[in-house]
Amino acid sequence: MFTGRTVDENCPLIYKSCLSIPFFPCKGREDQNRGFGRFWVDSEMDRKTGDSNVFKPSEEMRDLHLLEELEKNPAVSQRELSHRFGIALGVTNACLKRMARKGWIRVRDLNRRKIEYCLTPKGFEEKARLTFRLISSTVQHYASLKKMIGERFLEMERNGLNRVVFYGLSDEMEVAFVTLQGVNLRLVGIVEDDGKFKPQILFGFEVEPVSRVKELKPDCVLITSLTENGKKRERLQEIFGPNSICIKDICL
């Protein structure tokens, strides 16, 4: 029987630096798109979720990625940039023209079919500014998300709950794990939707499909993702029955 056992100490703890990706508390999609975005648009993800806005980057994030790529490879083609970052070729062309107008890049013809995009001193200055904003935004959002999740954990403690399961693999789940270390709650397992489930080890736990979550005997399940939360809540209610398990959401 599955017991949610932890693995031996030789299994590394998986945790990425909070500076690697800007985290977003739940302030609505319009706020996410106004600041630094989290990911580039993924056409396959869009088709599955029917919603591209959640993953749409801001203009500043797009500029930073393009400037970084042009610094590494000035001779990269627009088609390569478009494919690499999952944005339309027309959008890529418009971005490069705007960067040239602002004096961030210098466009030079290498031959009839090859163009080089070289960063100017002004371009390097802009890249440094955007990088600083990215780091500042990341730290700010990380702190906000950590506070939000901490409030959920305090609610659980006040209600006499102890055994917690995380539901949904995400960067937010990693913040939840760090925040958990400061409260008197016990993580007893991590689950993911059956269709998305892949055998792996996170934080010393074997990730299991949500269909087996009942075997963990949790007092509460914390939904640790910012997408498809309603579906996750419905799935838990199907498994446990209405009002038979405490379900918390990091942003509700």
Q: What is the pLDDT along the chain (252 residues), one digit of tens a residue?
A: 444 433 333 333 333 333 333 333 343 333 333 334 333 333 333 334 344 343 445 788 889 999 999 999 999 999 999 998 888 999 999 999 999 999 999 999 888 788 999 999 999 999 999 998 888 888 888 888 899 999 999 999 999 999 999 999 988 899 999 999 989 999 999 999 999 988 999 999 999 999 999 999 999 999 998 888 889 999 999 999 877 889 998 876
The CA-to-CA distance between both ends of the chain, in Å, stands at: 33
Backbone angles phi and psi of 186, in degrees to 5? -120, 120
User: How many residues are recorded in the chain?
Assistant: 252
Q: Name the segment(s) of the chain with CATH classification 1.10.10.10.
A: 29-119
Domain 29-119: give its CATH code: 1.10.10.10
Distance (Å, rounded) from C-alpha 169 to C-alpha 23?
14
Instruction: Report the pLDDT value the prediction gives residue 1, as an integer from 0 to 100.
Output: 40
User: What is the structure's pLDDT at 71?
Assistant: 93
What is 145-249's CATH number, 2.60.120.260, 3.40.50.1000, 3.10.580.10, 3.40.50.720?
3.40.50.720
The dihedral through the CA atoms of 107, 93, 64, 80 has a sign that is negative
- H-state helical runs in the chain: 29-34, 43-49, 59-72, 78-85, 89-101, 121-158, 171-180, 229-240
The answer to whether 190 and 169 are in contact (CB under 8 A) is: yes
Asked if 129 and 187 touch (Cβ cutoff 8 Å), the reply is: no
Tell me how far apart the alpha carbons of residues 91 and 78 are, in angstroms, rounded to a whole number: 10
Query: What sign does the dihedral 187-181-20-51 (CA atoms) show?
Result: positive
Do 63 and 126 contact (CB within 8 A), yes or no?
Answer: yes
Residue indicated by tokens 């498994």:
239
Rounded alpha-carbon distances, angstroms, from residue 138 to 60, 88, 135, 226, 242: 14, 27, 5, 17, 37
Residue with tokens 């539901």: 167
Is the separation of the CB atoms in 66 and 81 below 8 Å?
Answer: yes
Q: In whole angstroms, what is the distance from residue 193 CA to residue 25 CA?
A: 22
E strand or H helix at 220, and its extent?
strand 220-223
Amino acid at 42: D
* Other CB atoms within 10 A of residue 242 CB: 7
Q: What pLDDT is stored for residue 57 in this prediction?
A: 54
Q: State the pLDDT at residue 98.
A: 94
CATH 3.40.50.720 spans which residues of the chain? 145-249
Query: Rounded to two decimals, what is the model's pTM?
Result: 0.58
Residues 6+ apart with CB under 8 A from 252: 26, 229
Bridge partner list, 220: 164, 246
